[in-house]
């Protein structure tokens, strides 16, 4: 039997679950423990099939709209980490549904910023991707027409506000740092008085994972991003790797997604994971490569992460004693 070829694996750090994702998944699991099955979840709690399937097995039922939830149920309904339009909690209240809000606090921060700008009479731009649930939720915080979506640099160059001196912008939390910086620079150049966030809206986890990929992508033959196709932060990681010169940059939800024909002649491989991808799948993919190669593993770190977000009050451990 011939010896397996050597393969250097460079793990990006940080990678995988962020504090907002941990909080959202824990909210569903604590609700199941405390109230029993079923627990309804509006939209995927996070964009990861492995996570969603695991919660389904424990008794979570995923719905796209509250209308799918039976009348007169006492089961909790959890709002996903991406946030929801204001109409959704209002609808839940009108139907006497018991709701738990697992919206990431960093998304809630963007909602609050937009509300403050609106109260101050400013026209608001939202930098983000249309139809992404986070963007739908942010747009839905304010009356129709109060927020204008900017998706590209071209949008920033051509948008015509009513009053160029009374503007503000907020951004989706999971965007490309570089793309967003370009759009913000264009807006500030065109509208010098535009009001932006005091602290960058792109979340720490998105930023840190992109910085790690920027370090690793130029020095490996290929890079795998563990993540789902509908995960914005995972797609941005793949794009960053390509932009940094990595010729083979692919997204994989599981080891079974790997197209081995693309990895035949590589001697080094970078691996990262989107903020909603569990570490167990990183290990699964490394195991798949270990069957074909002799692995030599190292880690490249871009930042330390120790963020923690408390759970919704109703499912915190101390709530059990109340």
Q: Please give the annotated binding residues for dimethylallyl diphosphate, written as ranges.
A: 47, 82, 132, 231-233, 276
Extract the annotated binding site for isopentenyl diphosphate.
47, 82, 132, 231-233, 276
Q: Which two tokens stand for residue 46?
A: 């996070």
134 an active-site residue?
A: yes
Distance CA 84, CA 46 (A): 13
Residue 165, judged by CB atoms within 10 A of its CB (0-12, 13-18, 19+), counts as exposed
Catalytic residue (choose from 113, 134, 189, 305): 134
Residue pair 203/178 in contact (Cβ under 8 Å)? The answer is no
User: Which residue in 221, 276, 207 sits closest to 249, CA to CA?
Assistant: 221
Extract the annotated binding site.
18, 47, 82, 104, 132, 173, 203, 231-233, 276
Give the three-state DSSP class for 151: coil
Residue 117, judged by CB atoms within 10 A of its CB (0-12, 13-18, 19+), counts as buried
In the block, tokens 């930098």 appear at 127
User: Which residue in 280, 223, 291, 290 sits closest to 49, CA to CA?
Assistant: 280
Catalytic residues: 134
């Amino acid at each position: 039997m011939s010896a397996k070829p050597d393969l250097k694996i460079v793990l990006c750090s940080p990678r995988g679950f962020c504090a907002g994702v941990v909080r959202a998944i824990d909210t569903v699991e604590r609700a199941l423990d405390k109230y029993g099955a079923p627990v309804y979840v509006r939209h995927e709690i996070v964009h990861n099939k492995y996570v969603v399937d695991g919660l389904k097995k424990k008794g979570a039922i995923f719905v796209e709209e509250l209308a799918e939830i039976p009348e007169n149920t006492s089961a909790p309904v959890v709002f996903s980490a991406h946030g929801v339009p204001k109409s959704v909690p209002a609808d839940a209240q009108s139907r006497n549904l018991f709701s738990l809000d697992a919206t990431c606090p960093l998304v809630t921060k963007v909602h609050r910023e937009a509300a403050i700008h609106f109260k101050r009479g400013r026209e608001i731009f939202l930098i983000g991707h249309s139809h992404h649930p986070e963007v739908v939720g942010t747009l839905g915080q304010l009356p129709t027409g109060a927020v204008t979506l900017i998706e590209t640099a071209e949008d920033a160059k051509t948008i015509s506000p009513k009053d160029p001196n009374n503007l503000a912008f907020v951004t989706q939390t999971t965007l490309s740092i570089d793309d967003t910086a370009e759009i913000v620079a264009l807006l500030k150049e065109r509208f010098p008085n535009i009001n932006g966030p005091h602290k960058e809206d792109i979340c720490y986890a998105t930023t840190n994972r992109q910085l790690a990929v920027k370090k690793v992508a130029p020095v490996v033959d290929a890079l795998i991003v563990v993540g789902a196709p509908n995960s914005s932060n995972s797609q941005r990681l793949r794009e960053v790797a390509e932009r940094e010169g990595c010729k083979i940059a692919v997204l994989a939800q599981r080891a079974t997604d790997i197209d081995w024909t693309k990895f035949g002649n590589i001697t080094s491989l970078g691996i990262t994971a989107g903020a909603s991808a569990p570490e167990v799948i990183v290990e699964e993919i490394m195991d798949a490569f270990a069957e074909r190669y002799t692995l030599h593993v190292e880690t490249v770190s871009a930042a330390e992460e120790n963020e923690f977000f408390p759970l919704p009050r109703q499912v915190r451990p101390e709530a059990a004693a109340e």
